Amino acid sequence: LYRIALKDKKDASFDITPCVGEYYLLDREEGNVANHVLFQCPNHLGKGVLVSPTVHGNLIVGPDASYDMPVKDYTGNTQKGLDFVRAASQRTIKNVNFRNNIRNFAGVRATIQGKDDFLIEESPYLKHFINFAGIKSPGLTSGPAFGKELVRMLEADGEKLEKKEEFKYYRLPDFFHELSMEEKQELIKKDSRYGQIICRCETVTEGEIVHAIHQPIPATTIDGVKRRTNAGMGRCQGGFCGPKVFEILKRELNLEFDEVYQDVTGSKVVVEKTKGEK
């Protein structure tokens, strides 16, 4: 409907400019370097490079802010960006041991030039189509408030909304390694797969992985399992558990070896069988 309303023209009411930010994720050995999220003074590029502990005990450092990218969804890393993050972080904490880095990654922020805040408004091209644009770093935290604001805006515009009574809420399970010894033993009695550790770094069990695969919204790729259970998030970054997760996905979803993906469709882990394999 939106494209029809625009008649394949660009929405000229605002313009999105992608901005890449690169990060270091360090091992838990560095997790106690900072006890809080430490921001530097913000500038025209944003809140600057932060140094922060993560909820899982690691240390995260970054990001920079670069508008120099080949395509709008580019999320690769550059030596220039990482060098900047590393040097800038020294103004906050000088004793971060970057040799304990276990992963680098980048994210893309949607910025609107000349606007420092979110853009939340009805499209001038289609009634009741609400644009939420220029959603930068706090967007995830703001998500629930966005939903309430959307309801308020539509009701104020005369729309009658009905509550979805059959909405089903699924609580995320507790991490096995966070349970008490008694709770762990009780869980293993019910399902022995919870006694089999697949990811050594994060202490993730086979039972947790199988549970994630068979949820109403299932984890069907290696990265999907990682995001749901933390398997592969540790120091070895899946070097040990990756092949095991591969085999569990293949078994539980009845897949062929070339149907197990790392993440998106087409990101095959195994392309073909080696010589001599049947």
Give the Cα separation of 19 and 109 in Å (integer). Answer: 5
| pLDDT of amino acid 7 | 61
Query: Dihedrals φ, ψ of 89, to 5°?
Result: -65, -20
Contacts of 149 (CB under 8 A, 6+ apart): 120
Whole-prediction pTM: 0.81
Give the Cα separation of 6 and 10 in Å (integer). Answer: 7
Place of tokens 């998500």: 143
pLDDT tens string for the chain (278 positions)?
556 656 666 667 788 888 899 999 999 999 999 999 999 887 776 678 999 999 889 999 999 999 888 788 888 899 999 999 999 999 999 999 999 999 999 999 888 877 778 899 988 888 888 899 998 777 888 999 999 999 999 999 888 999 888 888 777 778 999 999 999 999 999 999 999 999 999 999 999 999 999 998 899 999 999 999 999 999 999 999 999 999 999 999 999 999 999 998 789 998 888 776 66
| pLDDT of amino acid 177 | 92
Query: How many Cα atoms sit within 13 Å of 207 on the Cβ side?
Result: 18
Going by their DSSP bridges, the two strands 59-62 and 50-53 should be labelled as antiparallel
Q: Shortest CA distance to 205 belongs to which of 236, 176, 182, 239?
A: 176
Residue 207's identity, in one-letter code, is G
| pLDDT of amino acid 231 | 96
Point out which residues pair with 115 in neighbouring strands: 112
| pLDDT of amino acid 200 | 95
Radius of gyration of the chain (CA): 23
| pLDDT of amino acid 129 | 86
